[in-house]
Amino acid sequence: MKEITAIIRRDKLPETRMVLEELGYPSLTIQSVDGRGKQKGALCAEMDSEMPESFCAAVKLKPTPSAYALEHTLPKIALFVPKRMLTMIAPDDVVDRIVESVIKVNRTGRHGDGKVFVSPLEGALRVRTGETDEEAIS
C-alpha cells in the first residue's frame, strides 16, 4: 500500500476528483492549504489566478499583485498561495496509474501546478469494523 499526497491548484479539484472516480478510487481526503514553492515569495503573474478575491482589497493593489509588483519596487513578501491537498491510499499495483492521471489533469506548464508525493504505508485499520490493510482501504 502507498499513500499518495497531491498538492494542486484549487480550480483543478473538480476535474481531479472526476478522474479518480473514473479510475475507481473516489476515496480521498481533501484539505485547503496555503504554501509557496521555489519562487520564495516572489509575485508571479501565473499566481494571480489563484489569489483569493480578498487579497487585492486587503492590500489595495490593482489590478493584480503581480502587475503592481512589476511597476514598483517592493520588498519581497512571503506570499502563500491557496491550494488543495489530496491524500489517498491505494494498493501498490495502481499507484502509477493514479499518479499519472493526477499529473495529466493538473499539468498546465506554469509555476504552481503542484506536487505529488508517494510514500510507503505500513498498515491501515478501519476503526468501525477492525479490518486491516487491503480490506481497510477498499
Residue 47 corresponds to which amino acid?
A: M
Q: Which CATH number applies to 1-36+80-138: 3.40.1710.10, 1.10.443.10, 3.40.30.10, 3.30.70.120?
A: 3.30.70.120
Written as nine digits, the cell of 43 is: 509575485
What pTM did the predictor assign? 0.74
Rounded to whole angstroms, the Cα distance separating 5 from 19 reads 15
∠ CA 88-103-64, rounded to 5°: 105
Question: For the chain, which residues make up each domain, given as ranges?
Answer: 1-36+80-138, 38-77
pLDDT score recorded for residue 57: 47
Q: Are 92 and 2 in contact (CB under 8 A)?
A: yes
pLDDT tens by residue, the chain, 138 residues: 999 999 999 999 999 999 999 999 999 999 999 888 776 555 444 455 555 555 544 444 455 555 666 666 655 555 778 899 999 999 999 999 999 999 999 999 888 899 999 999 999 999 999 999 989 988
- pLDDT for residue 61: 44
Q: pLDDT at position 117, please?
A: 98
CA 35 – CA 47 distance, rounded (Å): 12
Tally Cβ neighbours within 10 Å of residue 115: 13
pLDDT at 112: 85
1-10: buried (b, 16+ CB within 10 Å) or exposed (e) per residue?
bbebebbbbe
